[in-house]
Structure 1
Amino acid sequence: MRAWATAWWLLLGLCVTPPAWAQVHLGGGWADSIEGEGAEMASLAWVSAQRHPWEVMAGYIGEREGAHVPDAVFFAVSKRLVWRRWFASGGVAWVSEDNHVLSGHGQFLTGAGYTFGRTSLSLRHLSNADTGGRNRGETFVLLEVGF
């Protein structure tokens, strides 16, 4: 839990000036089932104001008790490529857990989504890209609202 709190405070520290708050996104979603059990997830992100923006995200993926998968916190930096309202993103991430789902602390975060107004809906995948371990990864649907 301490890593989770540290990641959130670091992200909030990036967003202390009023103009920066215009690019803050709060998200929630659902992670794909592992051994028959899904998990809730939440995120807080800062997105730059460029045509192809940078995204700095802190996230939380809930515990799956039946599948013996503890909750995980991640911190990611990725680049979004935008075409009209569609986007694809890819970047690097650090994860608090090293287990059979997220093998190793170094991960990649990829995604694709659609933005409508201040809201976006995306499908994301957090994985180590087969750099070691079982490499199962986490796939989740994320609904974000910008402020």
Structure 2
Amino acid sequence: MLTEWGALIPGLHAGRFDVIAAGMYITPERCKQVLFTDPQYQLGDTLLVKPGNPKKLHSYADFAKNHDLRLAVTAGTVELKYARDSGIADDQIIQVPNTTAQLQAVKAGRADAAIGTALTMKDLAKKGGSSVEATTDFVDRSFAHRLWRVGIPSAG
């Protein structure tokens, strides 16, 4: 079922679907809302940027150090929390409803980069053709290689 990321947990609670199989990272906040299965696989994040990475972006810290930079983040994802925890100001963060909007924000120049899993950003780079690319050297290892799980309704 196609839905926006931020609607996954509410949709699960409303009975719109039986499980969340969208590769959801476990967080303390989400544990209060749903149960999680054992880890399914492990994957790190990366950035989607203009070709050649002209602003030389490689980490959340690059954005925190330069207030003129803008980062497109899908609303409701852990990357939003990680961006804020890394010192990126809210006015630098462009929250969008889905990954297609992230791609559009970078292509149009509204964002200097988009952040997401390496798998997702590489897929967006393919869809974006020659106008974008996924970086291969994202360095925020404290957030990298999180384990993905399936979310299931909690009892009660």
Relative to the length of structure 2, the TM-score reads: 0.33
More helix by share: 2
TM-score (norm 1): 0.34
Higher relative contact order (CA 8 A, sep 6+): 2
- Which structure shows the bigger proportion of residues in strand conformation? 1
Give the structure with higher Rg (CA).
2
